[in-house]
Amino acid sequence: MNLFTYPHTVTTLFKLSFKLFQKNLLGMLMLTVVLLAPSLVVGLAQWFETESVVFFISMRVLESAMALGMIAVAHGSIFPISGILRSFGGPLLFGAIHVAILQYLLFVIGVMGLTVMPFPFNIIIVVLWLSSLFYFCLAQPVFILEGRRGMQAMIRSFQLVRAKFSRVFIIVVLSMLIQFSIFALLFRLFLPELDLLSAEDTEQIQIQIAAILENEGVHRAMRLSQYLTALAFFPFASLLTVLLYFDLVNQEGQVNSDHFSKLATQFFGIGSENSNRPETPPQD
């Protein structure tokens, strides 16, 4: 199968992402651990607010790393974790972080809409933020595969998603539901026993919720569930994002296989003769 031009359905996108994740499991997990390391270090220092920022940015950078890795895989290579890390040792890393910071700022605006904005501005801000989860989800692959930086990557992502919004909406929502399910399951497993009292009025319920949120065991369960979800699901989700990019570009008729071959040669020293290696496509 040619990863760049295969005519996917929603089902085959998920199947191929899972297949590639299984096939390259060790390398992808190692890459995820490396990118999570800064967040873990900050968390161990108990700078928890900074940790959440670094975690968010690291997982967005993972999407760029996966896009680069898929270029090598599409040209017949195994998942090249060492080549990816070498490539991310310079300007490429800072470019991915730049795009990730823009994505994080949109997240911050959404949080502000939920917490401090007055009505009806909070509704408008939250709707715009939720829309950004879809329209700018391809910014990292665009940066790596098209060389568009910062706002240009965000604009290009918007253009790609706008043309096939219903398709992107289904894939992103399904991905979020899977992520939430995994997190909820892990959180339930690690959640400590809590002494909950029966609350009969709103004030008592609020006091009880505040006590739960301040519980050290609850915080520990949330952080552990967050990192295990990142290991178990985020490599797959990043693969899905990259394959979705290839699919939308293919439907747009703008696939440039020669450019992708040049990227494979530039970053991994791989020639173009293996780019169309046959592979059994997933069946619906």
Q: For residue range 40-80, what is the model confidence (pLDDT) as tens digits? A: 999 888 888 899 999 999 999 999 999 999 999 988 888 99
* Residue 91 belongs to a domain: yes
* Residue 207 belongs to a domain: yes
* Residue 95 belongs to a domain: yes
- Residue 239: domain span: 10-268
* Residue 188 belongs to a domain: yes
CA atoms of 146 and 256, how far apart (whole Å)? 10
* Residue 1 belongs to a domain: no
Range with the poorest average pLDDT among 35-49, 92-106, 145-159, 205-219: 205-219
CA atoms of 274 and 265, how far apart (whole Å)? 12
> pLDDT per residue over 143-195, tens digit each?
999 999 999 999 999 999 999 999 999 999 999 999 999 999 998 888 766 55
* Residue 2 belongs to a domain: no
Residue 263 near residue 77 (C-beta atoms within 8 A): no
3-state secondary structure of 137: coil
* Residue 278 belongs to a domain: no
- Domains: count for the chain: 1
